[in-house]
Every structure is written in C-alpha cells, then in structure tokens.
C-alpha cells in the first residue's frame, strides 16, 4: 500500500501553477511551514492571551518573535470538522465531515478533497503528519492517502479506545495506559527527525498534539502538587514545542521557517479557560470558536505584533499555498482568503464574506463585521435569534436583537440563503469491528 496518490497529484499540479515569489513580500526562497495544533486549548489558557496559571516559555517566545491574532476563529465547534476545514480551506459541510468521527467510522475526509499537504507536495515540499488525525481511521482516510509522505500518530482523540499508534497506514502498536504518558515526547522526537532529514529542502510539518484533551496522562515530573493535571499538560506540551524550536535554531532553519501555533476548538467543559469569552466546545459562542493563533517567522514577520482583524481557519489554506508559490485550485468552492497582509502588516486586506458556523446541516451563527447573530445550537434551532456586538462585547453578555431589528433581519436573510447550499445530514449508526471498543468508542474507565 503506497502513500502516493498519483491521479490526485496530477490534478493538483495542473491547477497549482507557480505564483510569483514576490507574493511572500520579501523572499524568493520557499519557506518551511510548521503547523502546531493543541487539542481543545482555551482562548484564556495562555499567558499571552491573559492566562496567569501556566508557564509556557516556548509559546511565549513564539508570540514575542511573531504575530498574535486576537480574533482568530476555528471553522467548527468540534475537532474533526475543524481539522477538515483547516486542511482543505473549505467549510466542513463541503468535505463531508460535519461532526466528531468515532472509532470505526465508515466515513472520513473524502479522497476527492485537495488537502494542504497535497497542494504543498505538488510545489516541492516534503510533508509529514504527526499526532492526532481524527479525519477517519480506516486506511483510505489516513494521512498518507491525503498528501502526507509519512505519518506517526493516533487516529482519534485520547478518550477513544483503543489507543493506537499508527505508522503510515499500519497499526504499529496498542499503547497501554502507562506508555501514553510519553506520547507527546515520542511525537516530538519524530518531528525533530523529520525536520533534520529535510533541512535542505522545503518541508511542511503538520503537528497535532493529543493534549490537553482528556484523559490527561503525563510524566510524573509535570504532576506538581497544588497544580492541576491540565496545567501540567500544557507545560509538558510547551516543553516539547521548545525542543522542536531548539532544533530549528541548531539547524539554522529558524529564519527560513514559518511556525504557526493554534487550537482546534474551545476548551472542554471540565478543564481549560476561555478567558472572558462565553461558551466552550460545541458552542458557537466566542469561547467555543475563538482560539489562540501565533505566527512566528523571525526576519520576515514583525515581532510582538497583535492583530485585531478577524480571521478564520479556512484562510490558512490559501495563505500557505500562496507562500509556497502555488495557486489555489479553481475547480471547487473555497471559503477563505489569503491573510498574509494581516500577518505581515504589508498590503491591504478586506474581508469578502461573513463567517458562518454550521453544525450538521444547520447554521448556528454568523459573524459579519461587528455583529454576530446566533440562530441555533448544535442540537436545535433557537426560538428567537440572539444578536451581539462582539467588538464591544466579546463576552456576548448583552443580547441587542431588540435594539437592532434591521441587523437581525439582514443577517437572518443571509443565513437563509446560505443554508440552501448545505446538504442534508442523516444520522448514521454502524457497528464497531473491535470488541475492545465500547459501542460509543469513548473511554469510560
């Protein structure tokens, strides 16, 4: 079973013709690209976003040396569709991933999708996925079928059984509980091997941490009295990010590499902090969809800069493809825009369309400028819409729908029109093949 998908790559090459190198603003050399994702990290967890309880010097350094987005959104309130949007540049409903995928799901990210890895590989990049995947655990959906040259990681969340470590398209082993504590270190070892092996060519590393998603099993040295396991997990993750950054420094790659750190959705209900924002995972309120994003590229991006202009996950695809000298394919609908002007501080940027959040086949919220209209929850429509001015009220504590009926009517009309393109979602029940799994796939012990 090979990792190459020649037919797809031929299609990508035909539509990803080289773009002018001047689009990067100052470089003619293709940059290395590293995307680092935390799993369920809250907006208020990090010191650089107002958190006070966790020490994260490596992440703090990314902020000090780069750009911090204060209004960056994920495209969905839960992980699988959020990840699909990031990797494809498209709304999750376009990709067929509309909710959390469970172990043994017969579905996954459609092979017809062009992923960021495929687009970058066609531009000459080495590509590797490391860590949590959660876009389908069957062989046809794993990273090596989605444009990645290699993969080491876990197919879904840490609360789903069994805990499998997959190498490329094979299960390398099942991890007993005590070994899970060292997964983050192992994954970082693999990341260091990848960047070292590819130091002389452009590379794309997609590094998706399994923490701080529960259950949190971490080394004893990070279990310090008086501190929560969650806080210890963040410091453990930060330590490992620091190891990767030190490797880039030693290899002389730091000024050749764009490193982006973010989260796939808001925090779980039991752990994590959303700061002053309302809501958590599964909520379209700000706490469920507004997450940290730090972008660092010394010598190219300005240091210590905060950007207040809203951006969203499906902007990442066109941004990185253009940085790599490629062109976004024109044979399908894309939802994002190139946000390089926001990151670099050079050039103008004008948002062309509102942000919509969709759960299954229903819009739950829309943001347009200062206004955000909520029309549903993940499981039901609202009896009456809620309107918030999220520029002046990011905590969404004052529903001003009654004071601005024209705004409500306008945004409701955009929702009604947008929903016409969303396909119907049918509930799907399927058996699990592995007797070691609970029917739900979720860890309960």
Q: Catalytic pick from 79, 213, 374, 378?
A: 79
pLDDT for the residue 252 = 98
Cβ-based neighbours of 237, under 8 Å, separated by 6 or more:
38, 184, 209, 211, 212
CA distances from residue 256 to 22, 121, 298 in whole angstroms, order as listed:
16, 18, 8
- To the query of whether residue 134 is one of the catalytic residues in this protein, the response is yes
294 neighbors 62 (Cβ within 8 angstroms): yes
Task: Spell out the residues 6+ positions from residue 303 whose beta carbon is closer than 8 angstroms to its own.
Answer: 64, 65, 66
Instruction: Identify whether the C-beta of residue 32 lies closer than 8 Å to the C-beta of residue 260.
Output: no
The tokens of 173 are what? 């082993």
What gap in Å lies between CA 68 and CA 229, rounded to an integer? 26
Q: Among all chains, which residue has been given the structure tokens 């003619």?
A: 28
Q: What 3-state class would DSSP assign to 278?
A: coil
Q: Which two tokens stand for residue 203?
A: 């590379």
Instruction: Look up residue 125 and give its two tokens.
Output: 């990049």
Distance CA 126, CA 28 (A): 18
Give every CB contact of residue 94 below 8 A, 6+ residues apart in sequence. 88, 332, 333, 335
Q: Residue 22: its pLDDT value, please? A: 32
Asked if residues 180 and 7 have their Cβ atoms less than 8 Å apart, the reply is no
Contact of 52 with 223, CB cutoff 8 Å: no
Strands 290-296 and 126-131: unpaired
Q: What are phi and psi of 234, to 5 degrees?
A: -65, -40
- Residue 79 is among the residues annotated as catalytic for this protein: yes
Indicate which residue of 76, 134, 213, 374 is catalytic.
134
Look up residue 76 and give its two tokens: 């969905």
> Pairing between strand 66-73 and 381-389?
unpaired
Q: Tell me, letter by letter, the H, E, C secondary structure of 298-347.
A: CCCCCCCEEECCCEEHHHHHHHHHHHCCCCCCCCCCCCCCCCHHHHHCCC
Residue 396, burial from CB neighbour count under 10 angstroms (0-12, 13-18, 19+): buried
Secondary structure class of 83 (helix, strand, coil): helix
Q: Is the pTM of this model over 0.85?
A: yes
Do residues 279 and 73 make contact, with C-beta atoms less than 8 angstroms apart?
Answer: no
Hey, what are 103's tokens?
Answer: 């172990």
Distance CA 373, CA 53 (A): 33
pLDDT at 29: 87
Tokens of 384: 């009456």
pLDDT tens for the chain, 445 residues long, are 444 443 334 334 333 333 333 344 444 589 999 999 999 999 999 999 999 889 999 999 999 999 999 999 999 999 999 999 999 999 999 999 999 999 889 999 999 999 999 999 999 999 999 999 999 999 999 999 999 999 999 999 999 988 999 999 999 999 887 789 999 999 999 999 999 999 999 999 999 999 999 999 999 999 988 889 999 999 999 999 999 999 999 999 999 999 999 999 999 877 899 999 999 999 999 999 999 999 999 999 999 999 999 999 999 999 999 999 999 999 999 999 999 999 999 999 999 999 999 999 999 999 999 999 999 999 999 999 999 999 999 999 999 999 999 999 999 999 999 999 999 998 877 877 666 666 555 654 4
Which residues are bridge partners to 170 per DSSP?
167
- 22 Cβ contact partners less than 8 Å away, ≥ 6 residues apart: none
* Packed helices 57-64 and 229-250: angle between N→C axes, nearest 10 degrees: 60
Per-residue pLDDT, 181: 93
CA 393 to CA 408: how far, in whole Å?
17
């Amino acid at each position: 079973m090979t990792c190459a998908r020649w037919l797809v790559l031929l299609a990508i090459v035909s539509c990803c013709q080289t773009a002018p190198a001047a689009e990067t603003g100052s470089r003619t050399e293709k940059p290395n690209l590293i995307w680092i994702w935390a799993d369920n990290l809250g907006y208020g967890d990090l010191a650089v976003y107002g958190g006070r309880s966790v020490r994260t010097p490596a992440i703090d350094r990314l902020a000090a040396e780069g750009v911090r987005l204060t209004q960056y959104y994920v495209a969905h309130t839960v992980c699988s569709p959020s990840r699909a949007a990031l990797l494809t540049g498209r709304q999750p409903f376009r990709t067929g991933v509309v909710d959390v995928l469970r172990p043994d799901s017969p579905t996954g990210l459609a092979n017809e999708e062009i992923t960021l890895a495929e687009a970058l590989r066609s531009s000459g990049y080495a590509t590797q996925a490391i860590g949590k995947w959660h876009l389908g655990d069957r062989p046809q959906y794993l990273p090596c079928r989605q444009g990645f040259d290699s993969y080491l990681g876990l197919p879904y969340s840490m609360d789903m059984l069994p805990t499998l470590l997959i190498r490329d398209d094979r299960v390398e082993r099942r991890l007993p509980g005590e070994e899970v504590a060292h997964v983050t270190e192992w994954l970082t070892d693999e990341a260091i091997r990848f960047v070292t092996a590819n130091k002389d060519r452009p590379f794309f590393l997609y590094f998706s941490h399994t923490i701080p998603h529960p259950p949190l099993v971490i080394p004893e040295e990070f279990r310090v009295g008086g501190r929560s396991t969650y806080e210890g997990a963040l410091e453990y993750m930060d330590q490992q990010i620091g190891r990767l950054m030190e490797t880039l420094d030693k290899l002389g790659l730091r000024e050749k590499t764009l490193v982006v750190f973010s989260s796939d959705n808001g925090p779980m209900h039991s752990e994590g902090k959303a700061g002053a924002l309302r809501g958590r995972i599964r909520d379209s309120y700000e706490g469920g969809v507004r997450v940290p994003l730090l972008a660092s590229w010394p010598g190219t991006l300005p240091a210590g800069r905060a950007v207040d202009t809203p951006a969203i996950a499906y902007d990442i695809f066109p941004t990185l493809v253009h940085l790599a000298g490629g062109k976004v394919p024109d044979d399908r609908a894309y939802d994002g825009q190139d946000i390089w002007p926001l990151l670099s501080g050079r050039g103008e940027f004008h948002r062309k369309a509102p942000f919509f959040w969709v759960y299954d086949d229903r819009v739950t919220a829309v943001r347009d400028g200062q206004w955000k209209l909520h029309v549903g929850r993940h499981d039901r429509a609202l009896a009456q819409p809620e309107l918030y001015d999220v520029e002046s009220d990011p905590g969404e504590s004052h529903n001003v729908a009654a004071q601005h009926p024209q705004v409500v009517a306008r945004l409701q009309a955009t929702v009604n029109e947008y929903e016409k393109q969303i396909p119907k979602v049918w509930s799907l029940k399927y058996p699990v093949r592995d007797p070691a799994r609970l029917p739900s796939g979720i860890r309960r012990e």
